[in-house]
Amino acid sequence: MSDCHRLRRSADIARVRRRGTRVASPYFVLFVAPGGAETTRLAITAPRRLGTAVARNRMRRRLRAAFRPHLATPQPVVDMVAQARRPAADAPWRSLTGAVAQSLARARAAPAPSPA
**Sequential DSSP letters for the chain:** --GGGB---HHHHHHHHHHSEEEE-SSEEEEEEE-SSSS-EEEEE--GGG--HHHHHHHHHHHHHHHHHHHSS----EEEEEEE-GGGGT--HHHHHHHHHHHHHHHHHSPPPPP-
Go through the domains of the chain in sequence order and give each one's CATH number: 3-109 (3.30.230.10)
Q: For 34-74, write each residue's pLDDT tens digit.
A: 887 778 889 999 999 999 999 999 999 999 999 988 887 76
pLDDT band at 111 (very low <50, low <70, confident <90, very high): low
The pTM score is 0.85
